Structure 1
Amino acid sequence: MHLLSVFPALQVKNYRIFWITQWIALIGFWLQLTAQQWLVYTMTDSALLLGLLSACQFAPSLLFTLFTGLWIDKHNKRKILMGTQLFYLIQASLLGLLLWTGHETYLWILFFAFFVGTIDSFDMPARMAFMPELVGKKALHSAISLNSANFNITRMVGPLLAAFLLKYLSYSTIFFMNALSLVPIIIAYSRMDVNSVIEETEKRHPILEIREGLKQAKNNPVIYKNLIAAAIVSGLILNLGTYGPLFADRVLHEGIDGFGSILFAAGAGSMVSGLLAGASTRHLSNTMIFRAAVLCGVLLMAVSYVHYFIPALFLFALLGFFIIAFIVNCNTVIQMASPKEFLGRIMGLYTFVFLGSAPFGSLLVSFIIEQVGTSLGLLLVGALAIGLLVIFARPADEMHSLS
């Protein structure tokens, strides 16, 4: 009972069921993702083809989320989420079957990565739009924070467990395990006594309705400035998979073990940040969210000056802490500022900018590092992020405080 009093969202029975089953599903997700990445690397021995795998998974977010957001606004979000979990289960089962029968090829794995990305383009905005219905606005900040803590705890555990299991189990078994991990959350969604209230509105052309959602975001400074900040942080700072291996190898000279330690440190900081935020029903002000984003850029610049292992891990832990502080509060204020009838569209737009900026940011970060070196490159990337945030994402109250 003490745990329920600490975390407001866990006082909601439906959310407790969701949170527990999400743990199982996320462990399965990281098992499959880690196994799939290692499978492609062993099949191709190519960093480029491994990068193409990630691009295929992100591409549907760029292609579909603006349209899926509108569709989500018109349908029952709980039922949509039941459907996405079922499609995740089908995808994992088919991929496992492909490997079990010995018919796997690189192109087939690319196809399934695109398939997963397509499901993501429905699942992510629907899940975010469903949270206010599940817990109410009072506990929304706590729910988003606990979701983030879940994700980062399983991000630390899942890859390590996958590396251990792959010594004894086949790739197909790992994929089948992921499929099984989705069964509890499908059952949980089916038993939740939460149903979206779909308001009847005049039927209009989808493009016009999407344009209305974009107009809502544009005309609300809280929404559009936080969307811009999310794109900047996601594209330039959140790309640990781009600059982390280079920093671990070229600067720290610790190789793959060093990269693993960097990911663990960032994950640990993220987990602490998510749990602390989860114990609160209040979100940060717009000014504090902006300053958290700027601090992420400052910490990345600080990392560029470090050449020793332990201090670097400390800075990456701090970076993980403030990245999650920014993301959780940014997500919360956008949802709180969004009219209910536009929430699916605005969450689709959030998914579009947050995931869609990642591949472009990754290319820019890698280009800068290759041109000027790893340490100077990170210094420039951090400075670029701060400059863009100040120019495009600074809230009105922050402008007044600096004038």
Structure 2
Amino acid sequence: MTASESKTPGSSARSGGLLAIGLRSLTVRNFRLFAVGQIASATGTWMMVVAQDWLVLDLSGDSGTALATVTALQFTPMLLLTLYGGRMADRYDKRALLTGANVVSGVLALLLGLLVTGDAARLSHVYVFALALGVANAVEVPARLSFIAELVGQDLVPNASALSGAYFNIARVLGPSLAGLLIEAAGTGTVMLLNAASYAATVAGLRAIRPEELHRSPRPAARDARVAEGLAHLRSRPDLVATLALLAAVSLFGLNLQLTLPLMARTVFHTDAAAFGLLTAALAAGSLLAAFTGFFFPGPPPGPPGDRLGLFLRRPGG
């Protein structure tokens, strides 16, 4: 037996051990049900992103102003209302909030899809849809993020959060790729109807969750869940203020690709919907690669920070 062959069983065991550790949250039944529904819903959501942007450009004659208006209408409620959505998640049943938000989002997608397939959609309809979806997301996002702790318990929250990020990025690759092909084959309305159907998977998963197996903590009283108190705490933490300011700057100037990428696809590259979907998916591929890199190399490499890049580059070759 050669030296390389003698190392194989141990390497396989270590790889299997890493995989088992990385997927340990999936041993929790409630989280498995939730994750399956979220994969379907997230894929549908990213299909909807491509379809909505393509529809706006079709209806507006490739207007950047129209695309910016839709984007602002969809994300402004997230900016203004997410704190209140978090307060609701603290005070009320998260499973019920998630079910309601997903039902509303599914109905909205269904209505817009029917308008598009019936050739009755107007730009004003997309504006209303984007605003209503933004309000629903302001409730859904904080409830979903905090619900993970109830599904798996505090000890598994980091692992469950990492898995959630991984399947979200997988959906970011699959959704746009499928959407582009489907738009070319069947139109934007069909993609929107499929997105509406994807919400049913999330609702079904939520309904199948066993409430008695949730790791619920006592809900705070109303006086303990004030948004003003959260803002006061934020002001007392300069490190958090600086972090949020940095994130805001990066998002404003570097992550506004939902606005710029569709316009570039139509007016610069003159591509079809299939190519636009692939462009959108390519953005997510880098994030997915980073997620898998973090999965296999979970901690910082040893040694001084200045040596870490060289250590990382030497790793694949042994």
> TM-score normalised to the size of structure 1?
0.61
1:269 partnered with 2:286: yes
Q: Which amino acid aligns with 2:148?
A: M
Q: 1:189 aligns with which of 206, 212, 236?
A: 206
**CA offsets per residue over residues 95-153 of structure 1, 9 Å max, x none?**
12223444311101110011111111111111112122222333222222222222222
State how far apart, in whole Å, the 2-side matches of 1:254 and 1:99 are. 26
1:7 partnered with 2:23: yes
Structure 2 portions without partners, runs of 5+: 1-15, 307-318
Q: 1:66 aligns with which of 83, 103, 122?
A: 83
**Equivalent in the alignment of 1:199:** 219
Q: 1:20 aligns with which of 17, 32, 36?
A: 36
**CA offsets per residue over residues 31-80 of structure 1, 9 Å max, x none?**
22211211111111112111211111112112322222222211111211
Q: 1:94 aligns with which of 111, 118, 131?
A: 111
CA RMSD of aligned residues (A): 3.4
Q: Which amino acid aligns with 2:71?
A: S
Q: Alpha carbons of 1:230 and 1:129: their partners in 2 closer, same or farther (altered >3 Å)?
A: farther
**Equivalent in the alignment of 2:232:** 215
**Equivalent in the alignment of 1:39:** 55
Range that drifts further, 78-87 or 186-195? 186-195
State how far apart, in whole Å, the 1-side matches of 2:246 and 2:150 are. 26
**Equivalent in the alignment of 1:119:** 136
> TM-score normalised to the size of structure 2?
0.75
Q: 2:149 aligns with which of 124, 129, 132?
A: 132
**Equivalent in the alignment of 1:395:** none
State how far apart, in whole Å, the 2-side matches of 1:131 and 1:238 are. 26
For the 8 Å contact 2:169–2:285, the answer to whether it is kept is yes
Q: Alpha carbons of 1:262 and 1:89: their partners in 2 closer, same or farther (altered >3 Å)?
A: closer
1:30 partnered with 2:46: yes
Secondary structure of the residue that 1:138 maps to in structure 2? Answer: helix
Question: 1:379-398 maps to which residues of 2 (within 5 A)?
Answer: none
Percent identity of paired positions between Structure 1 and Structure 2:
30
Number of aligned positions between the proteins: 281
**Equivalent in the alignment of 1:142:** 159
1:154 partnered with 2:171: yes
Q: Which amino acid aligns with 2:99?
A: M
Question: 1:352-371 maps to which residues of 2 (within 5 A)?
Answer: none
Q: Alpha carbons of 1:8 and 1:255: their partners in 2 closer, same or farther (altered >3 Å)?
A: farther
**Equivalent in the alignment of 1:327:** none
For the 8 Å contact 1:31–1:174, the answer to whether it is kept is yes
1:231 partnered with 2:248: yes
State how far apart, in whole Å, the 1-side matches of 2:279 and 2:259 are. 12
1:52 partnered with 2:63: no
**CA offsets per residue over residues 305-348 of structure 1, 9 Å max, x none?**
xxxxxxxxxxxxxxxxxxxxxxxxxxxxxxxxxxxxxxxxxxxx
Q: CA deviation at 1:87?
A: 1.0
Q: Which amino acid aligns with 1:26?
A: A
Range that drifts further, 65-74 or 104-113? 65-74
Q: Which amino acid aligns with 2:257?
A: L
**CA offsets per residue over residues 144-195 of structure 1, 9 Å max, x none?**
2222222222222212211211233243322221111111211111122326
Secondary structure of the residue that 2:233 maps to in structure 1? Answer: helix
Q: Which amino acid aligns with 1:21?
A: G
State how far apart, in whole Å, the 2-side matches of 1:65 and 1:121 are. 5
For the 8 Å contact 1:22–1:185, the answer to whether it is kept is yes
State how far apart, in whole Å, the 2-side matches of 1:144 and 1:156 are. 19
**Equivalent in the alignment of 2:94:** 77
Range that drifts further, 254-263 or 142-151? 254-263
For the 8 Å contact 1:76–1:196, the answer to whether it is kept is no
Q: Which amino acid aligns with 1:5?
A: I
Q: Alpha carbons of 1:164 and 1:199: their partners in 2 closer, same or farther (altered >3 Å)?
A: closer
Q: CA deviation at 1:197?
A: 3.5
State how far apart, in whole Å, the 2-side matches of 1:282 and 1:12 are. 25
